[in-house]
Amino acid sequence: MRENDPSKEGFTVTPWEVEGEIDYQKLIEDFGTDNVDEELIDRIEEVVGDAHFMLRRGIFYSHRDMDRILDDYEEGKKFALYTGRGPSGHTHVGHLMPWIFARWIQERFDVDMYFQLTDDEKFLFNFDSTLEDTHSYALENAKDIIALGFDPDKTHIFIDTEYIHELYPLALKVGKRLNFSNVKAVFGFDNSTNVGSIFYTAIQSAPCFLPTELEGEEVPVLIPCGIDQDPHFRLTRDIAETIGYIKPALLHNKLAPSLDGTGKMSASQPKTTIFTTDEPEDVEEKINEAFTGGRISASEQREKGGDPDICSVQNYRYYIFESDDGKVDDLAERCREGDILCGECKQILKENIKGFLSEHQERRDRAEDKLEEFLVRDCE
Amino acid sequence: MRENDPSKEGFTVTPWEVEGEIDYQKLIEDFGTDNVDEELIDRIEEVVGDAHFMLRRGIFYSHRDMDRILDDYEEGKKFALYTGRGPSGHTHVGHLMPWIFARWIQERFDVDMYFQLTDDEKFLFNFDSTLEDTHSYALENAKDIIALGFDPDKTHIFIDTEYIHELYPLALKVGKRLNFSNVKAVFGFDNSTNVGSIFYTAIQSAPCFLPTELEGEEVPVLIPCGIDQDPHFRLTRDIAETIGYIKPALLHNKLAPSLDGTGKMSASQPKTTIFTTDEPEDVEEKINEAFTGGRISASEQREKGGDPDICSVQNYRYYIFESDDGKVDDLAERCREGDILCGECKQILKENIKGFLSEHQERRDRAEDKLEEFLVRDCE
């Protein structure tokens, strides 16, 4: 059985398919992860002085072994961060969520970050893509990562086909311990799945053990990632100790919602998704069309108020574009009270997004010259 | 359905399992290959001046597209040779057969040879082996290859884990086109097969396209190998053109028999197998114990004659250790006539093997210093 059974639950979450309205609490039960609770958030705050808004707001809502990472850290044992991206196209702002969060973790804990760009995965899973396409998007995505301000001395970005010499022996050790039944159950593969895709999870597992190999001593790994990626690492965790490594720990974020108010942000729905390469006029247009919790008429809204809980404009603000809790709460309250209409509220979000993108795109352009500083390759 | 169905035929031939008495003609039908017939042998002789005894004796008995290789060659288009070895232990003389033959092809046609040592395969398929084991045997096996006299300027030996940066993009292209049904049917895999093994055939396919990639122009590939390896390359041939490459051609040899008169020579049966590292006393002992076609008593044999057709001593001579057809025929004739007894006949084989091994081991020792000349690696 697949861990998340769409026939029973009305939604599907795998690394390659997210469909339906996700019950995040149900995923915690299905996947067997733990809630990020007040106690954990308090503890993080105690250790590093504050807690990122994505923790406070329940966006990073689930974890595996984060308490162990903190125990080790407090005893002086540093962990390494690992996350990644499947380069199937340009980066959208939903992808940035775990990266922004990882950047915060890197700074607060002063740790190394390993960033995997899986050009092989996107080639294998998308029938029409070529390795040239996915490799070229990998470089584009790398610029977004660099633009977020990761520490160049502690950040190691690699593209799978350029780093396979390093990854392959680790992937073999993982691949020997997983059989077709295991990956079939977890990913819903069948007999028509290609053999590259069947093996691929071993490649995504490999970086969990890379810091230990590179440092020559046990380095625990913490993976901030979307909850949809958990199935890979649940398999990794099942076999890690058998092959002589410590299990990776995880912090899972909820998936950024789409601007039409349904499902997650998706590169295949460009009209309801903001890309880091969007121009101001794209932002204007997309936010103008965004689904809100507003009423039929301005007068009705002034009288009865709107519903910020179902509003994608409020969601965008809540998930990414407003780090100030006070401002987020204030706008929600004003919406409920009918004190602000959708047009004005959208205008505030537009300015936030355009401000963010303008700065991001400038840093992204400068990142072009920093690629060599951040990219690690075989044969270097 | 598996191509060779053991339930119907009483024997199994896959790259990892050879059981029962092999009906080689049946394999040609099952696998859909062509007989190496008189016409083809004559044509090879015409092109290069002679035909190797392994062709004349029907040891290289089956092929795919060898006529196309000759057509191209006669039009001035050179092919490349590719063969390999799974480094699960020391080399035995059965492994040498296709290599000796390949060495002859290289010399006669003046072509490049790519030799793959699959340390990843043997790690994945043998539960107890480590990558350190298989890598270390790969280096041992490489010395045997070098000892056979391949041209250092035209011979490129690589160990998979050391050359994966070069192989991986090609393996991905293959792996994307093969699904679990395909490999299940051809290799008999099931749900308990590990995902590394499921993907592995793509790694063995990759070198079929490597010469074209390295040369930057279409280079046809000819693979001399045991018939048990054909299933890999049948899959390769099925998808080659779809991914933009020419199908590899093959010449298949029968598998060298064991000294006990049953099945094929196997490293897991060391008492009935001659290794290239055997000492003269090992050879003495093993040949003394070898199964022959002799009679119960010397007097009966003198009277009725022996049966060289079922004799493993005669087989060893026929397959590898006597290139002179006249001598092979003469000894068989004398056996049938009762003119020679098993002891004397074994003595002749022992001297041949000991002579061969003494020279081979000397060249093998010298090969230690030539490893760097022959091995190609990523990052060089």
Nearest to B141 by CA among B376, B372, B364, B370: B364
At residue B184, does pLDDT exceed 60? yes
pLDDT of residue A1: 35
Cβ count near A200 (within 10 Å): 29
At residue B252, does pLDDT exceed 80? yes
Q: Contacts of residue B162 in chain A, CB cutoff 8 Å?
A: 165
Q: Contacts of residue A198 in chain B, CB cutoff 8 Å?
A: 180, 195, 198-199
Residue with the bigger pLDDT between B380 and B272: it is B272
Q: Contacts of residue B379 in chain A, CB cutoff 8 Å?
A: 165, 378-379
Q: Cα separation of B142 and B157, whole Å?
A: 7
Structure tokens at B331: 């000894």
Q: Cα separation of B221 and B212, whole Å?
A: 9
At residue B265, does pLDDT exceed 90? no
Of the candidates B171, B184, B194, which has its C-beta nearest A176's C-beta? B194
> Could you report the per-residue pLDDT of B189-240, keeping only the tens digit for each?
999 999 999 999 999 999 999 999 999 999 999 999 999 999 999 999 999 9
Q: Nearest CA of chain A to the CA of B157: how many Å?
A: 17
CATH number for the B270-366 domain, one of 2.40.50.100, 1.10.10.10, 3.40.50.20, 1.10.240.10?
1.10.240.10
Contacts of A175 (CB under 8 A, 6+ apart): A199, A202, B124, B194, B195, B196, B197, B199
Structure tokens at A1: 């059985």
Q: Cα separation of A370 and B151, whole Å?
A: 45
At residue B258, does pLDDT exceed 90? no
Reported as a pLDDT band with limits 50, 70 and 90, residue A17 is confident
Structure tokens at A180: 């077709």
At residue A233, does pLDDT exceed 70? yes
Residue contact A178–B164, C-beta within 8 A: no
Residue with the bigger pLDDT between B2 and A344: it is A344
Which residue in this structure is represented by tokens 């598996």?
A: B2
Residue contact A195–B183, C-beta within 8 A: yes
Residues composing chain B? 380
The amino acid sitting at A306 is G
- Judge whether A328 and A58 are in contact, CB under 8 Å: no
User: A32-49 burial by CB neighbour count: b if 16+ within 10 A, else e?
Assistant: ebeebeeebbebbeeebe
Of the candidates B162, B169, B196, which has its C-beta nearest A202's C-beta? B196
Residues composing chain A? 380
Residue with the bigger pLDDT between A11 and A336: it is A336
pLDDT of residue B4: 62
Residue contact A196–B175, C-beta within 8 A: yes
pLDDT of residue A159: 98
Nearest to A172 by CA among A213, A144, A134, A215: A213
Q: Contacts of residue B199 in chain A, CB cutoff 8 Å?
A: 175, 195-196, 198-199
Residue with the bigger pLDDT between B25 and B18: it is B25
The amino acid sitting at A302 is R
At residue A137, does pLDDT exceed 80? yes
Per the prediction, chain A carries an average pLDDT of 94
Reported as a pLDDT band with limits 50, 70 and 90, residue A111 is very high
Cα→Cα distances B148→A101, B214, B359, B364, B369, Å:
59, 25, 10, 8, 15
pLDDT of residue A5: 63
Q: Tell me the average pLDDT across A111-121.
A: 98
Helix (H) or strand (E) holding A150: none
pLDDT of residue A346: 96
Third-level CATH fold of A6-255: Rossmann fold (3.40.50)
Structure tokens at A218: 């046990």
At residue A3, does pLDDT exceed 70? no
At residue A204, does pLDDT exceed 60? yes
Residue with the bigger pLDDT between B44 and B7: it is B44
Lowest mean pLDDT among B3-12, B163-172, B200-209: B3-12
Residue contact A131–B173, C-beta within 8 A: yes
At residue B2, does pLDDT exceed 60? no
> Could you report the per-residue pLDDT of B48-100, keeping only the tens digit for each?
999 999 999 999 999 999 999 999 999 999 999 999 999 999 999 999 999 99
At residue B7, does pLDDT exceed 60? no
Q: Nearest CA of chain A to the CA of B239: how many Å?
A: 13
Of the candidates B165, B177, B379, which has its C-beta nearest A194's C-beta? B177
Which residue in this structure is represented by tokens 């009305």?
A: A10
Residue contact A120–B161, C-beta within 8 A: no
DSSP string, B131-185: HHHHHHHHHHHHHHHHHTT--TTTEEEEEHHHHHHHHHHHHHHHHTT-BHHHHHH
Residue A261 phi/psi, 5-degree rounding, is 85, 5
pLDDT of residue A7: 58
Rg (CA), chain A: 21
Which segments of chain B belong to CATH 3.40.50.620? Answer: 6-255
ipTM reported for the complex, 2 dp: 0.95
Q: Nearest CA of chain B to the CA of A251: how many Å?
A: 27
At residue A63, does pLDDT exceed 80? yes
Nearest to A109 by CA among A82, A83, A81: A81
pLDDT of residue A71: 97
Of the candidates B169, B189, B198, which has its C-beta nearest A161's C-beta? B169
Residue contact B191–A175, C-beta within 8 A: no
Q: Nearest CA of chain B to the CA of A168: how many Å?
A: 7
- Judge whether A302 and A272 are in contact, CB under 8 Å: no
Structure tokens at B366: 């010298």
Q: Cα separation of A365 and A274, whole Å?
A: 18
Nearest to B218 by CA among B248, B242, B238, B239: B248
Q: Tell me the average pLDDT across B314-334.
A: 94
Strand order, beta sheet including A113-117? A34-35, A60-64, A249-253, A221-226, A80-85, A113-117, A155-159
pLDDT of residue B3: 55
Residue A379 Rama label (left phi>0; alpha psi -120 to 50; beta): left
Q: Which ranges of chain B would DSSP assign to H, the alpha helix?
A: 6-9, 24-31, 38-48, 53-56, 66-74, 93-109, 119-125, 131-147, 160-175, 180-187, 195-205, 210-215, 230-240, 280-288, 298-304, 312-316, 325-336, 342-367, 371-374
Residue contact B196–A176, C-beta within 8 A: yes
Residue A299 Rama label (left phi>0; alpha psi -120 to 50; beta): alpha
pLDDT of residue A133: 97
> Could you report the per-residue pLDDT of A292-312, keeping only the tens digit for each?
999 999 999 999 999 999 999
At residue B1, does pLDDT exceed 60? no
Q: Tell me the average pLDDT across A195-223.
A: 98
Share of chain A above pLDDT 70, in %: 98
Which segments of chain B belong to CATH 1.10.240.10? Answer: 270-366
How many inter-chain contacts (A to B, CB under 8 Å) are there?
A: 122
Which residue in this structure is represented by tokens 């990882």?
A: A102
DSSP string, A40-83: HHHHHHHHHS---HHHHTTSEEEEESHHHHHHHHHTT---EEEE
Residue B194 phi/psi, 5-degree rounding, is -75, 155
Nearest to A136 by CA among A380, A371, A379, A373: A371
- Burial tier of B206 (Cβ tally within 10 Å: 0-12, 13-18, 19+): buried
Helix (H) or strand (E) holding B189: none
Lowest mean pLDDT among A157-161, A316-320, B358-362: A316-320
Structure tokens at A64: 């595996």
Residues from A contacting B (CB-CB < 8 Å) are 120, 123-124, 127, 131, 161-162, 164-165, 168-169, 171-173, 175-184, 189-199, 201-202, 378-379
At residue A345, does pLDDT exceed 70? yes
Q: Cα separation of B219 and B79, whole Å?
A: 6
Residue contact B168–A161, C-beta within 8 A: yes
Q: Tell me the average pLDDT across B315-330.
A: 94
Q: Cα separation of B223 and A202, whole Å?
A: 30
Q: Contacts of residue A197 in chain B, CB cutoff 8 Å?
A: 175-176
> Could you report the per-residue pLDDT of B88-127, keeping only the tens digit for each?
999 999 999 999 999 999 999 999 999 999 999 999 999 9
> B85 - beta bridge partners?
B117
Of the candidates A131, A162, A179, which has its C-beta nearest B195's C-beta? A179
Residue contact B123–A172, C-beta within 8 A: yes
